[in-house]
Amino acid sequence: MLIGRVIRPHGLDGALRIQPYSDNPNRFRSGRTLEVAGVSATVDSYQPVAGGHALLKLTEVEDSREARKFAGEWIFAAIDAEDALPPGEFYHYQLVGLSVVTDQGERLGTIQEILATGSNDVYVVSGDAGDELLLPAISQVVQQIDLEAQTVRVHLIDGLR
């Protein structure tokens, strides 16, 4: 699962300034194995800093010269049992690509992107004809998410088209 991106090296000891894409601090806990640029590495330390960034120190990255190799790279973590969500909650990566159909059986397209707006997520649905529909992820609209069937059933309330 994608959990962040390296912005640049920080300091001389090989620390990385990152943009975390996860609000779960366990994903960056000391001793956890992450993958950066196809390389497995162990978290030595993690510290949030100003601007929504964080400093990540990986055990295998010993100096700023090595850290420079990771600038711009994505950070991934394996999903384990402690990352499991409660029933009815889903990670964004699980929803992107799902087919969206109405409660009337009309196929609207597939979820291409999910926008985090603060109050609720918004699903960006791309139709077969290239049209785009923005669906708020609220209970009045999203009726069922079925990961096995790869579908999301929605009810289109007034004003959504």
Q: Encode pLDDT of 22-61 as tens digits.
A: 777 788 999 999 999 989 999 999 999 988 899 999 999 9
Does pTM top 0.75 for this prediction? no
- Number of CB atoms found within 10 A of residue 39's CB: 13
Per-residue model confidence (pLDDT) at position 80? 67
Distance CA 83, CA 33 (A): 14
Task: Say what the pLDDT of residue 82 is.
Answer: 57
Three-state DSSP state, 62: coil
pLDDT value at 146 more than 70:
yes
pLDDT digits (tens, 9 = 90+) for 82-108: 567 778 888 888 899 999 999 999 999
Residue with structure tokens 């330390």? 45
Cβ neighbourhood burial of 100 (10 Å; 0-12, 13-18, 19+) = buried
Q: Which residue has the tokens 């609720």?
A: 120
Mean pLDDT computed over 131-139: 94
The H or E element that residue 92 is part of is helix 92-95
Identify the DSSP state of 100: E
> Could you tell me which residue, 147 or 79, shows the higher pLDDT?
147
For residue 50, the one-letter residue type is A
- Chain centroid offset of residue 145 CA: 18
